[in-house]
Amino acid sequence: MTKTQLFCLLALASATTLAHAAQPQDFLADFQQTARQENPQFAGFDAGRGAQFFSRRHGDWSCSTCHTDKPTQPGKHAVTDKTIAPLAPAANPERFADPRKVAKWFKRNCNDVLKRECSAAEKGDVLTYLLSLKS
């Protein structure tokens, strides 16, 4: 393998690693950009709105049905009884670190709870709330 090939391989590996590693603030920035596209009057995320959204029942369920009223603690899936790791990043640093998982779980959970996808503003409010929690 030539030095050039090795360099290209290492660069590709680094780029792949960086693409999979993220911070919660990265998601907030993406949600903010999308929220502004969805609503030009978007004025920012709010932890209070996020807390209300998280605990409010939307039909049969709320986010807290499975993630508990204290998302710094483990939860339990309402149907399968499977233990769920804490949702708040302060208690579980692995949360909101993988873009594919964040997209997958927001899509699945919003569809389960709301029967629709969450808006970017709703996702941002919930994440802002979760980031405000201390373990």
The DSSP-derived string for 15-68 is HHHHHH---HHHHHHHHHHHHHHH-TT-----HHHHHHHHHS-BTTB-HHHHH-
| Domain architecture of the chain: domains with CATH | 20-132 (1.10.760.10)
Q: For the residues 91-101, what does the mean pLDDT come to?
A: 94
pTM for the predicted model, two decimal places: 0.82
- The mean of the pLDDT values for the chain is 87
Sorting pLDDT into bands at 50, 70 and 90, what band is 39? very high
Q: Rounded to an integer, what distance in angstroms lies between the CA atom of residue 87 and that of residue 60?
A: 20
Q: Which long-range contacts (CB under 8 A, 24 or more apart) does 100-105 make?
A: 100/20, 102/22, 102/27
